[in-house]
Each structure stands twice: as structure tokens, then as C-alpha cells.
Amino acid sequence: MKTVIDEAVRPKIVPPLHPDLVPAVLWNKAYRDAAAADGRSVPLVVGLERADGSISRYQTTVFPSEHSLFGAGLRHAERLVKSLLWMWGGHKVFVGGPAGIGEYVRKAYSRQGERAFDADLMSTAYDKKFTVEVTAADSVPPALEKTRPLGRHLDGCRIGFDLGASDRKVSAVVEGETVFSEEVPWDPRNQSNPLYHYHQVMSGLHQAASHLPRVDAIGGSAAGIYLDNRAMVASLFRGIPRAEFRKKIKPMFLRMRKEWKVPFEVVNDGEVTALAGSMSLNANRVLGVALGSSQAGGYVNDKGNITGWLNELAFAPVDLNPAAPVDEWSGDAGCGVQYFSQQAVFRLAGKAGIELAEDLAAVDKLKAVQDLLHRGDERARLIFETIGCYLGYGIGHYADYYDIGHALILGRVTSGEAGPIILEKAREVMEAEFPDLAGRLSLHLPDEESRRVGQAVAAASLPVVERK
């Protein structure tokens, strides 16, 4: 049943192929405005604690338990916790406020709850049991953020690689100049043998090394969550049995470092997206969003450092329509992966009347749609205009949690004419819905070469080389 909150959501720019979109940013604003205007509203404070002891904190207001809109508050709180978990990360969540809301969230994120997937992955990511503590608003611990510098080291002869779900990229870099780049299709998610992944990555490294006089350092970016060069959670390896993952994949990059005998660092691809944006723009407060096989996100703060946040935007909800498309991995509806990746292109192709052969590889399906766009097919244009609408509302949503001055948009989905169409529509949405934000936030597309292999080059800058 719709509430007055749902009725208040009226997007000014309706995506042409998705008219029933309920942008999370608009729904949340409608809820917050209604709660703030009601004299009976009470504080809700959410805290997230990570394994290094850092804590992030978010405060808002909700309706009390006796209010007729308390049920809307349950939905608001659950989606808020989901967003904060995948943007900021944490193995422990504090829910400070009405006990009914806290208990609802705790039940949802239990092993038997509807958000068991999220609880399990957070537990895996941090190597700690995931818990939700229900408490009073003033008992949530204060924020304690930790940051660290990332990359920007371009001295010597380096290799950088970027592992996506459809292709792997590698670059050889000498004193900051790229001397070789290669992009190779692969299919990691459907492989159950860890040796496939090991030899594919090593093949790229050897290919890049053949273009260098020596190898001083290797840096990599990959979809997933990585801690001290260990793969904790990654969709790239989802076809591998859990026991084999722990034994062969989790230490895979540590093994490579030992074999190459050089500084070797691997981080989440979203972090490198943000780093690439910060380096190319010579600016900070950068949110990087990569639209590829999945969605990657990363953030560089006002000091040019990365935070301890997860930035796994693929799982953060952006559409609060209960009938929103469902992510087939997490089983949840309305999450970013279905809006900011090639999966969005394929889903929207059917709505646009474009048939894509089932036996085509994902990379070839995307190319088929982009070829139609290049030939002036209006149906294909509507797909990327719709994704542009998603992006405009998505950036507005992310700006509620990140201090953003620049947003760098890249990835295979933005190749060719698609990228400018996506950004043009995103700017239209932002100017109509969030004029203040549009006036202080710049959207950027890198050039075509950087758009496709820029992350591999930025990844090369990750390790520090100690000079003797």
C-alpha cells in the first residue's frame, strides 16, 4: 500500500524506458522532510564499525512507533542501513533510536533474514562475525574516520592491471608514460578452477613485462573487496567453491608478489577509478563510478586520500520501487548493478524492442547495442538516455553520503557515443532536481583511451618502490 511518502515522489525527468523508477534520493528526501515537519519525530543514528576500529556515523529523524507512518520508517531504516553498509562498510552496525526500528533491522540482517546475503558478505569481508546492536541514539559511538594516501607513484618501470568481469587490462608504464596497453576478453565468473584466474592474470603480466627493460613494481585493481592483497569477496571468483576460494584465491596475489619479487599491491577497482580521476583532473573530492560488467565505485577525499570505506556501489539501492529489477547474486531489488552496468543495457534493450542473441557473450551484446547507436538507431539512444537519468538521480543519492566536487564516469558502457549521451541526460536531471548540487559538482568523461584502460595505468602507480 502506498503512503503519503510514496505519493510525494514525482521525478521531474522520467527515464524514457523506465517510467516507474522511484529514485532513492527523492523517496528519502520526501521521508526526511515529512519526519522533520512532524513535531513528534525522533532521532535515528546509524553507526558502522570496521575491523581497523574506524567508525562512520549517520544521523536522521524518523517517526515514533505510535505514528501512522512508522511502517515507512522501517523501510527507510532498512534501505538506509543497506546503503551505508555498501558505501561505508562495517562488521558491526549500531542502530540508535526507536527499539522497533532497531529490532526490525537486526532481524532483516540476521542469518535467517531477508538481508542474510549482506550480513554474510560483511562477515567475510572483515573476517569478523557481523552483528547489529540496538541502542539509544545518544549511545552510538562517535565517528572515527581513518584515511590513507593511495598511489600516484610513477617512477621506474611498472605494470598495472585491471580485472573486470568481461575483460582484463594491463599496461606497461615507464616513468609515468604508457609504452604498452592490452585489453583481453575473459570469463572469470563462470570458471570453477582457480588456475584459470591465476594463469590469465600472469599471462597479462608477462605480456606487459616483455615491453619493459625491467619490472620495478606491479599494481592491480579488481572488482571485489581486497584486504592487504588478499581477496576477501569478489564476484570474479563466484564460480569457485568456497573451500577452494579460501585456499587458492584468497592468497593468489600474495603468491604472485612472491614470484615476481617486487612491490605488488592490489585494491578494489573502484578505488583505482577514483584515483585515476583525481590524477587526470588534478583534483580531489572525486567520486569514480565505472559502468562495466558490474558497477564499481571509489572515492578520494578532500586531502587526496582514500577512506576505509567499501564503496561497493553495485549493492547500494538506488530505486525504491518494490517491483524494481532484482540483482541475481544478492537477490535484492533496486541495487546499482542493475542500473549502472552492462546488465542495465541488456535489461533495457528488451524494453526498447532490441533482441540480443542469447548465445552472444556479454561483451558482444554490449557492442551490438553500441553499434546500433553508432548507426543512429533511436531505440539504442533511449537505452543510454535512460541510464543517464539513472546516473543523474544516482549522483544526487551518492551526494547525500559523499562530499563530491567531481564525478568521473567511465567503463565499457560509456564507450563511443554512449558516454556523452549518458552525461548529457544526467546533467539534465541534476539541473532539474538538484540545482545547488549541479552548480558545485562537475561530471567528467575521460578520453576514449583512458576510459577503457586508464584504471590499469592508475593501478601501476599503487606500489611504493624503495630506492637503494
pLDDT tens-digit map of 26-83: 999 999 999 988 889 999 999 999 999 999 999 999 999 899 999 999 999 999 999 9
Q: How confident is the model at residue 81, as a pLDDT?
A: 98
Task: For residue range 229-246, list pLDDT tens digits in order.
Answer: 999 988 899 899 989 999
Q: How confident is the model at residue 448, as a pLDDT?
A: 53
- Number of Cβ atoms within 10 Å of the Cβ of 259: 11
CA dist., res. 434 & res. 441, Å (int): 10
Axis-axis angle for helices 70-87, 116-126 (nearest 10) = 30
Q: How confident is the model at residue 148, as a pLDDT?
A: 86
406 has pLDDT over 80: yes
Every domain of the chain and the residues it spans: 38-145, 148-267, 272-455
pLDDT category of residue 453 using cuts at 50, 70 and 90: very low
Q: How confident is the model at residue 442, as a pLDDT?
A: 95
Q: How confident is the model at residue 386, as a pLDDT?
A: 98
Task: For residue range 320-347, list pLDDT tens digits in order.
Answer: 999 999 998 899 999 999 999 999 999 9
Cα distances (Å, whole numbers) of residue 108 to 57, 93, 118, 398: 20, 12, 10, 23
Q: How confident is the model at residue 167, as a pLDDT?
A: 85
Helix (H, G, I), strand (E, B) or coil at 175: coil
Name the superfamily (CATH) of residues 148-267: ATPase, nucleotide binding domain (3.30.420.40)
The pLDDT mean for the chain works out to 93
* Average pLDDT over every residue of 19-29: 97
**Within this chain, domains 148-267 and 272-455 share the same CATH topology:** yes
Between 455 and 289, the more confident residue is 289
User: What number does CATH give the domain 272-455?
Assistant: 3.30.420.40
Q: How confident is the model at residue 393, as a pLDDT?
A: 98
Task: For residue range 358-378, list pLDDT tens digits in order.
Answer: 899 888 999 999 999 999 999
Cα distances (Å, whole numbers) of residue 10 to 24, 217, 294, 329, 427: 12, 52, 28, 30, 18
205 has pLDDT over 80: yes
Q: How confident is the model at residue 363, as a pLDDT?
A: 86
pTM value?
Answer: 0.89
CA dist., res. 254 & res. 256, Å (int): 5
- pLDDT > 70: percent of the chain: 97
Q: How confident is the model at residue 452, as a pLDDT?
A: 46
* Average pLDDT over every residue of 15-24: 98
Q: Which of 278, 248, 247, 260 is nearest to 220 (CA)?
A: 260
* Average pLDDT over every residue of 97-104: 97
Q: Are 345 and 18 in contact (CB under 8 A)?
A: no
Instruction: Give long-range contacts, CB 8 A cutoff, 24+ apart: 171-177.
Output: 171/208, 171/453, 171/456, 171/457, 171/459, 171/460, 172/208, 172/209, 172/211, 172/212, 173/457, 173/460, 173/461, 174/212
Q: Which residues of 171-192 are buried (b: 16+ CB within 10 A; e: fewer)?
A: bbbbeeebebbbbeebebbebe
pLDDT category of residue 468 using cuts at 50, 70 and 90: low
Q: Which of 16-20, 126-130, 420-424 has the lowest mean pLDDT?
A: 126-130
Q: Alpha helices of 173-251 — where are they, by DSSP H? A: 194-209, 242-244
Q: How confident is the model at residue 278, as a pLDDT?
A: 86
Task: For residue range 416-447, list pLDDT tens digits in order.
Answer: 999 999 999 999 999 999 999 999 999 999 87
User: What number of CA atoms fall less than 13 Å from residue 71's CA on the CB side?
Assistant: 7
User: What number of CA atoms fall less than 13 Å from residue 137's CA on the CB side?
Assistant: 14
Q: Which residues of 101-124 are buried (b: 16+ CB within 10 A; e: fewer)?
A: bbebbbebbeeebebbbbbebbbb
Q: Are 231 and 209 in contact (CB under 8 A)?
A: no
